[in-house]
Every structure is written in structure tokens, then in C-alpha cells.
Amino acid sequence: MAHVHKLYEYDYEKGYIRLKNKKCPRCGSIMAHHLQPVERHHCGRCGYTIFVAKKGK
Ligand SMILES: [Zn+2]
């Protein structure tokens, strides 16, 4: 599991995972990956949000 740490930056206290290779389509900033209350990618710079649609549930 250690290999995933190259791509993901965990912050369980704040409840999000930062994907280092996920950039905001609006401003190009790195987006944070939130898991609660719903899974989504959020840009802290411009506020752009991409909701992750889950399948099979
Ligand atoms: Zn942005």
C-alpha cells in the first residue's frame, strides 16, 4: 500500500485526501479530495467542485 503515498496526501484529521496529480480545470491549482459528506474534488483557490459519481450502489 506504500506506493499510493506517491500520489495521495492524506489528512484524516481534516477528512480529505489531496491528489497531487488532480488539477483544477478552471485555475490549474491542485484540488483536494473530500470524502465527507459526499466524495468530491474541491479547489481551495477558486472554489470549483467536481462531484464524484459512484456506481453500483
Ligand atoms: Zn480552481
> What pLDDT, in 10s, does the model give residues 21-51?
688 999 999 898 888 899 999 999 999 999 9
Q: What is the pLDDT of residue 35?
A: 86
Q: Please write the tens of the pLDDT for every residue from 5-18.
A: 566 677 778 887 76
Q: What is the pLDDT of residue 6?
A: 61
C-alpha cell at 22: 488532480
Phi-psi region of 24 (alpha: psi -120 to 50; beta: other; left: phi over 0): beta
Q: How far is the CA of 31 from the centre of ligand 1 (A)?
A: 7
Q: How far is the CA of 39 from the centre of ligand 1 (A)?
A: 17
CA–CA distance from 31 to each of 25, 26, 37, 47 (Å)?
A: 10, 11, 17, 10
